[in-house]
Amino acid sequence: MNIELIPLKVHFGVETYKDSVDMGPEAFFEKLAASASLPTTSQPSPVEFVEAYKRAGASGASVISIHLSSRMSGTYQSALLAKSMLEEDGCDLSVVDSRTASYGIGMLVVCAAEAAREGRSKEEILEMIDTIRRQTKIYFLVDTLEYLQKGGRIGKAAALLGSLLNIKPILSISEEGEVFPVDKVRGQKKAMGAVSWIC
């Protein structure tokens, strides 16, 4: 669909992997379960974006670059810096803060690519992205509290009690692009039911 992915980097100690290039989801979760500490991530460099933008715009095409919420990552800022580095090249580039993550970004990117294939203008596509983003709510469950505790989001006592009671937090992403708690339910089945009811 003429979509290019510029991956974030995942760091497990001194080992670095490009997300979905050097390490897929299955390998990531296996390594996560075996690791004593949480991995960290880093955004692509502005130079990586510049190279991708030059490739995408080589034929004179407009480029729309959609990114992980700026409240969750520095990726959007890195892309903006790359855009400023290309100002003299006349690249027709729009950088978009999706204010979402995961499936939310994927949905925006695929809709934009389909619209481009249908011959929609850059302005129409940007307006469509904004409309979809504002009308979409993402809800998700956390299967274990272990990583919230390791990441300092909740204390050990809360994680232990939550695990003993089989608490499943229901989370969402705000209009500003930040994760926030919606509810907490005991058990996976009840949590899925609660998400269905919220939606």
Among residues 38, 42, 39, which one has the least CA distance to residue 9?
Answer: 42
Q: How far apart are CA 2 and CA 113, in angstroms?
A: 7
Domains of the chain with bracketed CATH:
9-135 (3.40.50.10170), 139-198 (3.30.1180.10)
Q: From residue 162, how far is each of 129, 136, 154, 169 by CA, in Å?
A: 38, 29, 10, 9
Indicate the SS3 state at residue 101. coil
What is the per-residue pLDDT for 183? 80
| The pLDDT value given to residue 71 | 92
Taking the alpha carbons of 26, 32, 35, 41 in that order, is the dihedral positive or negative? positive
CA distances (Å), 165 to each of 72, 135, 144, 159, 187, in order?
29, 34, 12, 10, 8
Token digits of residue 137: 């709510």
Which one is predicted more confidently, 171 or 126? 126
**pLDDT exceeds 60 at position 153:** no
Q: Is the pLDDT of residue 50 over 90?
A: yes
pTM: 0.85
